[in-house]
């Protein structure tokens, strides 16, 4: 797109020999994903010499030879990165915008910029939802997000911002017009201001001051459900200099973005609300010679003495510092690395976790299970015997307030309900109306009206429900943990003396030589050096058939060597492999709240206070105003409180979403967030690129027809010399067809976006490109046209080698259609999703390929901006996805609701930037994704309906006096477990795609 803009725009960069440095402010550029997208867009532009990124300040510095930065601004906006020129202050005018206005602002004088503060916009899912809602609106020019400051800037031509507020509130965004006054925008004279309409600096979206500590990661052992998450969010919002929170409930982890000098205020705040937190990863690298371990099994002086005995006598150990409360051990040493220390601790049967930012954090910690301890089970068993004993004594004739019954009940409450009561007290102190507070009030209320046995049974059943729920959630955790368990912990590595030795995989350096024998799992990513074998890559790509591996091929950690011995060179260290990135991506995705989860959270935040108020009314109004019995109506109110617990409703969505994400990852489909997992079921059309998506993307040269005096060998020499500098698949086929013969020297090479390339050979300018380029040059004579039409009718891609005066030859290449494409298209149609082909190739070739695979809507001869327009039209009719693999597709991918990358295994950029990455080059993964998304949607709806229906039924029973406290808690427990196990069903079973392939 940008190549085309530069080549056709006025004052193109080719005529300006002087270098210019332009600094852009890009409010939406705040992570590596955006940086990668911009690099892909600008790296291949001849006039752009260098790029420098400052993500903390949202700035991009470009050294270029363009006459004006306007073309770069247009290109960045085309991929959803609206930018402004960060101009230096003009001493003459005193206005930071003065210099930029003369060239860049003239067209925006009629536009208005409104800034909205949106407190609940705190992750990519909300940003994507807002984009999908506002970008299609007429009059909206651009959106700029600052997630850290919870701000949205909208450039528009609407008469007022009222419609924007209505749309934001319609999707649950708590928006208000204007920026928070706590962080005023810089003054107009400040050079940091963005340029708005001419002469008027725009409202700044400058981010908060750069964090000095960045991110600290905490392990919170008693945080495992949305109730604790809400409590933590509320408490940490009060801690100054905290910029953001990322929750991972499945693994009980919290990442805090902050500007604090140390994490002590965070630990203190978490301690105040009863959260057992330890720092798992500091916001900085540790000092040389200092190793800090987190050891879950070290919690008493017995383990401390074992560790002292094992470590103090080791050479190179200078000191030990134990923190039994936090289960941390700090080791001062003079060793070259920590491997001997780690090994010594492991020999004691402990699982140490080294806190170190110099290596990627593990996606899932295998050493920290969440199973219920034996002591907990014994306490709950004792509490159950005492609670049931109290009930039996009450039924046998003892009064419910007699001292044996009260004593047994109090003992049961102390054994089985202490944690619940403690959490309830914390919720009361922090004014958080959660299920622990509701349960605490219900138990205390039952005791006050003399229902001691019921109070004991209720809190015991609630504790049992919590434990069973925790165990069932382990299955969702294990689904992700099993991904990591696929890679072995050791590898057979060649040593300096040519010996082969089994060593821990995490200690294997890059470029080491690893041997894997038949039947073994591969420990690390690498490139085969010697040997040949078939490798089962199902854990990475989801493909069922083994793939042949020969020298030069890539192997992935976690895959299985079926036969033959392979030796490979390590290309990725432990923690950086494709398998690690997949597991980490799934973790990050499940940590983001899906749309349904946001709805449920909002519903619960309104529903719980309403029911609480209703319970108070039931307890007070009938006795006060109608002379009813206090005991009866207070009891009904307590039953209502127990039923009101929104646990089943709130817990159902994260379990369902994480189950869906893990199930997709096991099938070779990497989904980057709950938003895309849910949105997939809504797709009405999918745009497919032809080359590399429907076809293999590896065309071969089939025809070379000279049109002048040049021989066929000379034609091939000129064509291959030009195309050797291009990365287009057609160019690669021509170069491969020429073979290993010497190439001519090419000067002044230039890529002509959407048409071809040109360059000088021996002082003559040659062109090689498509039908459009030949027409533009005026060399498309009747014989040339006839040949082009003949080849295009055969579904071949034809190009013309020419000077600016005559055609020299017509060359044709063809690309075979993938075997899976026809079946994938048929499955998409069966699902009611319309496949559309969008390709830059000529229309006849597009039609021929479309006919082979069954696509009825095929559009050829498309430039990047044409693809963008096509996506916009499709999006106006309903949600649209796009499968693409190139820079030319970037604008269209950004505009689509879901962007898919095919064949992403081993490709860092695709895994990090795509909304959905299909790890295998198999388009059938696309209908699989849509089918899974629909299953997830169905389960979510079922769970929500079941949870709400259960509440309604038992509220009616409570009001009519037909429900007791223990029956209410059983209903709540049953509903919670039912929705959890229903969500976990997604981890098993097969999709329709699988069934159709099996038949």
> The tokens of 640 are what?
């209502």
Q: Are the beta carbons of 809 and 829 closer than 8 angstroms?
A: no
DSSP 68-93: -THHHHHHHHHTT---EE-PPP-TTT
Sign of CA dihedral 372, 373, 374, 376: negative
Torsion angles phi and psi, residue 535, rounded to 5:
-120, 130
- Would you call 689 a catalytic residue per the annotation? yes
Residue 106 φ then ψ, to 5° = -55, -30
CA distance 250 to 674: 14
- Which residues on neighbouring strands pair with residue 819, listed in sequence order? none
Is-contact 185 203, C-beta < 8 A? yes
How far apart, in whole angstroms, are the C-alpha atoms of residue 651 and residue 962? 27
Q: Are 338 and 286 in contact (CB under 8 A)?
A: no
Query: In 366-451, which residue ranges form alpha helices assigned H by DSSP?
Result: 374-395, 403-429, 435-448
Tokens linked to 751 = 């890529």
User: Is residue 2 within 8 Å of 75, Cβ to Cβ?
Assistant: yes
| Contact present, 247 and 655 (Cβ < 8 Å) | no
Give the Cα-Cα-Cα angle 353, 356, 361 (nearest 5 degrees).
75
Q: What is the rounded distance in angstroms from the CA atom of residue 693 to the CA atom of residue 706?
A: 31
Question: How many Å apart are CA 111 and CA 157, to the nearest integer?
Answer: 5
- The bridge status of strand 277-281 relative to strand 317-323 is unpaired
Residues 6+ positions from 104 with CB-CB distance below 8 Å:
68, 69, 70, 73, 85, 195
Rounded alpha-carbon distances, angstroms, from residue 31 to 55, 99, 124, 580: 7, 29, 11, 19
What are 115's strand-pairing partners?
Answer: 153
Pair of tokens at residue 326:
């936090």
**Torsion over CA: 98, 101, 104, 105 (sign):** positive
- Please tell me the distance from the alpha carbon of residue 788 to that of residue 334, in angstroms, as a whole number: 72
Nearest Cα to 578, choosing from 665, 459, 648?
A: 665
Structural tokens at position 143: 């959106």
Rounded Cα distance, 351 and 340, in Å: 14
| Cα gap 281→355, rounded to integer Å | 5
Q: CB atoms < 10 A from the CB of 480, how many?
A: 23
For residue 742, the tally of other CB atoms under 10 A from its CB is 8
Q: Which of 958, 978, 980 is nearest to 968 (CA)?
A: 958
How far is the C-alpha of 840 from the C-alpha of 813, rounded, in Å? Answer: 15
CA-CA-CA-CA torsion sign (983, 989, 995, 997): positive
Length of the chain: 999
Distance CA 182, CA 150 (A): 12
Q: Alpha-carbon distance 867 to 888, whole Å?
A: 9
Is residue 659 a contact partner of residue 671, using CB atoms and an 8 Å limit?
no
Is the Cβ–Cβ distance between 492 and 516 less than 8 Å? yes
Q: Which of 3, 122, 689, 723 is catalytic?
A: 689
E strand or H helix at 845: helix 843-853
DSSP 579-632: HHHHHHHHHHHHHSPPHHHHHHHHHHHHHHHHHHHHHHHHHHHHHHHH---HHH
Q: Is the dihedral of CA 868, 870, 872, 878 positive or negative?
A: negative
The set of catalytic residues is 689
């Amino acid at each position: 797109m940008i190549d085309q803009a530069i080549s056709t725009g006025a004052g193109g960069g080719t005529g300006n020999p002087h270098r210019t440095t332009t600094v852009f402010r890009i409010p939406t550029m705040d992570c590596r994903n955006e940086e990668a997208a911009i690099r892909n867009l600008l790296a291949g532009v001849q006039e752009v010499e260098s790029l420098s990124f400052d993500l903390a300040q949202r700035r991009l510095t470009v050294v270029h030879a363009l006459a004006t930065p306007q073309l770069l601004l247009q290109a960045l906006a085309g991929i959803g990165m609206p930018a402004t020129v960060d101009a230096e202050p003009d001493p003459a005018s005193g206005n930071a915008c003065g210099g930029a206005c003369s060239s860049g602002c003239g067209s925006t004088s009629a536009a208005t910029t409104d800034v909205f503060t949106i407190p609940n916009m705190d992750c990519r899912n909300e940003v994507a939802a807002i984009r999908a809602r506002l970008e299609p609106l007429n009059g909206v020019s651009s959106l700029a997000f600052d997630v850290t400051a919870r701000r949205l800037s909208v450039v528009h031509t609407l008469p007022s911002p009222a419609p924007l507020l209505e749309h934001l509130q319609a999707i649950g965004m708590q928006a208000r017009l204007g920026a928070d006054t706590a962080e005023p925008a810089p003054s107009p004279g400040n050079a940091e201001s963005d340029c708005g309409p001419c002469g008027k600096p725009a409202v700044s979206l400058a981010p908060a001051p750069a964090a000095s500590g960045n991110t600290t990661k905490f392990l919170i052992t008693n945080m495992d459900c949305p109730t604790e998450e809400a409590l933590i969010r509320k408490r940490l919002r009060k801690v100054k200099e905290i910029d953001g929170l990322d929750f991972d409930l499945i693994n009980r982890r919290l990442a805090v973005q902050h500007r604090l000098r140390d994490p002590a205020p965070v630990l203190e705040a978490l301690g105040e609300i009863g959260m057992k937190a330890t720092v798992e990863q500091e916001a900085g690298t540790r000092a040389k010679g200092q190793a800090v371990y987190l050891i879950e099994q070290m919690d008493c002086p017995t383990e401390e003495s074992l560790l002292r005995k094992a470590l103090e006598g080791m050479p190179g150990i200078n000191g030990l510092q134990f923190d039994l409360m936090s289960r941390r051990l700090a080791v001062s040493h003079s060793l070259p690395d920590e491997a001997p220390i780690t090994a010594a601790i492991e020999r004691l049967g402990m699982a140490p976790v080294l806190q170190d930012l110099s290596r990627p954090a593990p996606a899932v910690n295998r050493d920290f299970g969440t199973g219920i301890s034996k002591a907990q089970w014994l306490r709950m068993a004792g509490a159950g015997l005492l609670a049931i004993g109290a009930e039996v004594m009450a039924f046998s004739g003892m009064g419910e307030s007699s001292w044996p019954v009260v004593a047994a009940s109090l003992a049961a409450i102390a054994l089985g309900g202490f944690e619940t009561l403690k959490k309830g007290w914390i919720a009361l102190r922090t004014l958080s109306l959660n299920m622990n507070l509701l349960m605490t009030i219900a138990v205390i209320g039952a005791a006050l009206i003399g229902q001691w046995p019921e109070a004991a049974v209720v809190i015991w059943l609630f504790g049992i429900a919590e434990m069973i729920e925790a165990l069932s959630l382990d299955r969702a955790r294990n689904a992700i943990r099993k991904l990591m368990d696929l890679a072995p912990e050791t590898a057979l590595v060649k040593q300096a003396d040519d010996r082969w030795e089994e060593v821990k995989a995490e200690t294997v350096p890059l470029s080491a030589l690893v041997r894997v024998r038949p039947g073994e799992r591969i420990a690390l990513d690498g490139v085969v050096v010697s040997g040949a074998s078939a490798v089962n890559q199902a854990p990475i790509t989801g493909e069922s058939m083994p793939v042949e591996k020969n020298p030069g091929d890539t192997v992935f950690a976690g895959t299985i060597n079926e036969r033959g011995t392979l030796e490979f060179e390590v290309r990725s260290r432990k923690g950086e492999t494709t398998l690690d990135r997949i597991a980490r991506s799934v973790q990050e995705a499940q940590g983001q709240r899906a749309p349904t989860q946001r709805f449920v959270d909002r519903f619960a935040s309104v529903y719980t206070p309403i029911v609480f108020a209703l319970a108070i009314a039931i307890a007070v109004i009938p006795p006060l105003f109608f002379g009813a019995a206090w005991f009866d109506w207070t009891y009904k109110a307590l039953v209502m409180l127990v039923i009101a617990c929104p646990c089943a409703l709130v817990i159902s969505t994260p379990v369902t979403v994480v189950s869906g994400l893990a199930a997709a990852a096991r099938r070779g489909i990497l989904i980057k967030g709950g938003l895309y997992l849910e949105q997939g079921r809504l797709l009405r059309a999918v745009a497919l690129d032809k080359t590399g998506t429907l076809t293999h993307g590896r065309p071969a040269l089939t025809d070379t027809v000279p049109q002048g005096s040049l021989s066929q060998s000379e034609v091939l020499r000129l064509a291959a010399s030009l195309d050797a500098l291009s990365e287009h698949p057609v160019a690669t086929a021509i170069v491969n067809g020429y073979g290993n013969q010497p190439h001519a020297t090419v000067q002044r090479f230039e890529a002509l976006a959407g048409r071809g390339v040109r360059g000088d050979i021996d002082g003559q300018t040659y062109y090689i490109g498509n039908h459009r380029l030949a027409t533009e040059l005026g060399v498309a004579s009747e014989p040339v046209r006839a040949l082009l039409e003949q080849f295009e009718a055969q579904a071949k891609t034809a190009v013309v080698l020419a000077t600016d005066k005559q055609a020299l030859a017509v060359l044709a290449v063809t690309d075979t259609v993938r075997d899976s494409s026809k079946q994938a298209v048929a499955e998409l149609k069966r699902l009611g999703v319309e496949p559309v082909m969008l390709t830059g190739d000529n229309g006849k070739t597009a039609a021929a390929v479309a006919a082979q695979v069954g696509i009825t809507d095929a559009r050829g001869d498309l430039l990047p901006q044409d693809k963008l327009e096509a996506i916009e039209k499709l999006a106006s009719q309903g949600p649209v996805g796009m499968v693409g693999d190139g820079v030319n597709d970037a604008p269209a991918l950004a505009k689509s609701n879901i962007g898919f990358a095919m064949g992403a295994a081993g490709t860092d950029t695709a895994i990090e930037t795509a909304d959905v990455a299909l790890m295998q080059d198999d388009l059938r993964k696309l209908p699989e994704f849509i089918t899974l998304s629909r299953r997830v949607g169905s389960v979510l709806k079922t769970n929500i309906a079941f949870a709400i229906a259960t509440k309604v039924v038992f509220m009616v029973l409570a009001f009519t006096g037909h429900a007791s406290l223990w029956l209410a808690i059983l209903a709540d427990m049953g509903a919670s477990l039912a929705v959890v196990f229903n969500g976990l069903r997604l981890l098993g079973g097969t999709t329709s795609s699988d069934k159709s392939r099996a038949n």
